[in-house]
Structure 1
Amino acid sequence: MMNTTEILKSIMQDPELNSQALLFNSADAAAKSIPILTPQSVAKTESKQADKSHQIKISTQDAHVYYGESEAIKGIDLDIYENEVIAFIGPSGCGKSTFLRMLNRMNDSIEGCRMTGKVLLDNQNIYDPTLDVVMLRAQVGMVFQKPNPFPKSIFENVAYGPKLHGLARDRYDLEEIVENSLRKAGLWAEVKDRLNQPGTSLSGGQQQRLCIARTIAVSPEVILMDEPCSALDPIATAKVEELISELAQQYTIAIVTHSMQQAARVSNRTAYFHLGHLIEVNATEKVFSQPDHELTEAYITGRFG
């Protein structure tokens, strides 16, 4: 069985490496015992040095999320720093997408879902009942797993948000916002001569970048991405990953991914979730090469997935 250092090397050097093959690395790995999750074993580990050198953009404090009586997120404390890319990884059903959606209250629309604790954006609790949720979702945008362009033209897809929020003074201003957003999304050169065509006429990868441009157009501070490449081919995935690195210069980005290779390629830090707990968060290279928690090591070495 590969050790964690070898796994990191393969992740970084081979973009085509199949993540499912990694999760089931060998029969020997599957046969080994998986650590038992106890309250004592769930102590989150994180580099102490990072706290002093980064400004906190989002902070969750004793965050719990419930679907009816079922607890999906179990008392998570996490700081997300300004202009970083943080990846959330873990087995299916571990709570990473629920946690991501909690960061801009997307879970509010789910019947029976409730949240306790605090989520602070620039030190303001986003669950304050007086807070404008529409404005929150402009500040903290979301890019979903499946590209979801509006049934409108390419231009109107990007212009919709600025119109809704009154961000454009006139038509010229609106056109400038649309062009700048498409440029930032790496799409302008491909669509500048067909802005009146339907957004749905684009390829899957182009549609996802259109959705990213739509998010950028309302001037967010944070961009949440829920498996943004899972429906894309390798070429389109590479373009989106390159875009993420460029966007991180201006935005704070949190990305949920099932691909450990992708987490290694795009993120500064990686957070590992397990059964609703945040097990470990640290610099991505350290998480993959020298994890502090045995559950993290068991996951990245393929002992369970």
Structure 2
Amino acid sequence: MTSGLVPKMTARKLNLFYGEKQALFDVDLDIHANSVTALIGPSGCGKSTFLRCLNRMNDTIPNVRIQGEVKLETADIYDRMVDVVQLRARVGMVFQKPNPFPKSIYDNVAYGPRIHGLADSREELDQIVERSLKRAGLYEEVKSRLQESGTGLSGGQQQRLCIARAIAVDPEVILMDEPCSALDPIATARIEELIDELRENYTIAIVTHSMQQAAR
């Protein structure tokens, strides 16, 4: 396991503008390897905007302009030579509302490994899907119905499916934008347990409104 003293990602003097409106002001932050970094604050303060800077999701929004530096280890992720698709494989994201693809449970998880060419055979792809679902704490609940639609799962199961989909491409960092906000207390507790387990293998940055969740 990488030392927790080594920043996996760093932001320095990060400013972001939506047109003429500035949303982030000189943000400096270190995100340490194999840790959970919680970003907490009131609605509208820029937490999610900052999180999206870490894998360039803001690139998809018109009229967004960024100043400053974001590094993944020693590499500037905003360098013009960076392959954004590959960056997002290394820095995955789980969104506020579960968003499984309208595909089978199996194909939801297999989607990333297929497009990135991570499996040379169906057997290898099966292993990736099973391993990812197990790491997301979902495999035992769905192993007999992998060909059923992912959209038919409960909210908490859908969010764990989205986590499995994110980790199937073996990212180094997982960004989570209020992953429990749409879930009931039981599903929330399961996701929180899962996040604590995942930090053994991944670096996690999570946006939350909850002081209690941040403390946990």
Structure 1 length-normalised TM: 0.69
Matched, 1:123 2:68: no
- Please name the residue that 2:201 is paired with: 250
Shift of 1:53: 6.4
SS in 2 for 1:194: coil
Pairing partner for 1:103 from 54, 57, 67:
54
Which whole-Å CA distance do the structure 2 matches of 1:74 and 1:239 have between them?
35
Q: For residue 61 of structure 2, what is the amino acid of its counterpart?
A: I
Aligned 1:87-236 pairs, distance under 5 A: 87-236=38-187
Which whole-Å CA distance do the structure 1 matches of 2:21 and 2:88 have between them?
26
Which whole-Å CA distance do the structure 2 matches of 1:242 and 1:125 have between them?
32
Matched, 1:59 2:10: yes
CA contact (8 A) 2:14 2:28 kept: yes
1:157-186 Cα offsets, whole Å, 9 max, x none, are: 000000000000100000000000000000
1:43-90 Cα offsets, whole Å, 9 max, x none, are: xxxxxxxxx960110011111010001110101111111011010011
Q: Which has the higher contact order (CA 8 A, sep 6+)?
A: 1
CA contact (8 A) 2:51 2:177 kept: yes
Q: List 4+ stretches of structure 1 deviating above 3 A.
A: none
Pairing partner for 2:192 from 241, 244, 249:
241
Cα–Cα, structure 1 residues 53 and 188, in superposed 2: closer, same or farther, change >3 Å? closer
Which whole-Å CA distance do the structure 1 matches of 2:193 and 2:67 have between them?
36
1:99-156 Cα offsets, whole Å, 9 max, x none, are: 0000000001111111111100011000001100000001000000000000000000
Which whole-Å CA distance do the structure 2 matches of 1:229 and 1:78 have between them?
23
Which whole-Å CA distance do the structure 2 matches of 1:210 and 1:108 have between them?
25
- Please name the residue that 1:289 is paired with: none
* Consecutive unaligned residues in structure 1, runs of 5 or more: 1-51, 266-305
SS in 2 for 1:88: strand
Q: Give the aligned CA root-mean-square deviation in angstroms.
A: 0.9
Pairing partner for 1:77 from 13, 20, 28:
28
Which whole-Å CA distance do the structure 2 matches of 1:78 and 1:263 have between them?
17
SS in 2 for 1:79: strand
Q: For residue 150 of structure 2, what is the amino acid of its counterpart?
A: G
Which whole-Å CA distance do the structure 2 matches of 1:240 and 1:197 have between them?
22
SS in 2 for 1:231: coil
CA contact (8 A) 2:136 2:160 kept: yes
Which whole-Å CA distance do the structure 2 matches of 1:57 and 1:89 have between them?
20
SS in 2 for 1:61: strand
Which whole-Å CA distance do the structure 2 matches of 1:85 and 1:180 have between them?
22
Structure 2 length-normalised TM: 0.98
